Amino acid sequence: MFSRISSLILVGAWALAAAPSSAQEALPSHAEIRAGLLAPTEAVAPNGIRADQRSIPLAFGLSALAPGAGQAYNRNWIKAAVAIGLEAAVFTVWSLKRSDGLSAEDDFRAFAHAQWDPVQYAGWLNDYVAYLQADFGHAVSAPAAQAPSGVDFTNPDGWSADQRAAVTSFFRQIQAIERQVFHPETGATFSHQLPGFGEQQYYELIGKYFQFAPGWADYPAWVDGEGNFTAAIDPELTGNGGSKPNVSSTFYRYAEDHAHAQDLLRTASRMSTLFVVNHLVAAIDAAVSAKLHNDRLGANMALLYVPDGPPEPSVSLTLRF
């Protein structure tokens, strides 16, 4: 039995000795094994991005949708808090200013309905035509403006379709006259015509240009008890120091209220622009931060050989500045 086993061992040894070159060719060298172990290895996700990398498009898109989201994705928590805080501040200011502006807008419109009367303005305009004819010989071919009956100009929401059509026709009559009259002091024709009732320009012009001052409730009488024209027939008449003595205080009060409401709405509009800016800046910052992270960070995994011991796994991080 012992001799048989010895024979087998000798045969095996002879076989190994007979083909040394083939065994060496089948096995990699020590240097090849070491090079393979020390080569960097990377974990690659299905989308082609290494596990330690960050997606630049994703970072950009997150903050473009919600400022701070891309910063949180990059783990820049302070930047994320700043971006979210700016978004909240801009939204708060925008909301408050817009609400205040719309409320002030409703107030000055209601005030205009109550205090500025198109019928009174048309009455003054008809008398103004007579004034220009009597004092300057200026003829106006447009017919006198005839106010529609039964129309309450303080409550336009209650108008019927027929009443709205009548108001539109009435305003066209006013506009036809305005195109043919002028200011005695300058000789210039009226610079503006009364816009349609309720239009944005309607509310602006009646508190901006003196030619519309006669429509306000506290405008002084332009015809005296004997039927003669007073100085108030000309709202553009210039007094001492360039003042307009015939323009009433209500005109100026309304102009201030209108300007204040528009300032609030303009501020809200600027805040809405900051929304876009904040989203854009946050998106660019998130994308740049992701790019810098990818450029600065490298990861290597390898096995290190220890003298008189087994190989030990090693992970190295490389920061580039």
CA 114, 117, 118: angle at the middle one, nearest 5? Answer: 140
Residue 19's pLDDT is 43
- 10 Å Cβ neighbour count for 58? 17
- pLDDT tens digits for the chain (321 residues)? 434 434 433 334 333 344 444 444 444 454 543 444 344 444 444 555 555 788 999 999 999 999 999 999 999 999 999 999 999 998 999 999 999 999 999 999 999 999 999 999 999 999 999 999 999 999 999 999 999 999 999 999 999 999 999 999 999 999 999 999 999 988 999 989 999 999 999 999 999 999 999 999 999 999 999 999 999 999 999 999 989 999 999 999 999 999 999 999 999 998 888 889 989 999 999 999 999 988 875 544 444 555 665 555 444 444 444
Query: Cα dist. 301→30, 37, 41, 225 in Å?
Result: 19, 8, 6, 106
Structure tokens at 245: 């003595």
Q: What is the pLDDT of residue 205?
A: 98
In this prediction, residue 309 carries a pLDDT of 55
The predicted structure's pLDDT at residue 50: 58
Sign, CA dihedral 124-127-129-135, equals negative
This prediction has a pTM of: 0.69
Tokens standing for 63?
């903050």
pLDDT value of position 310: 54
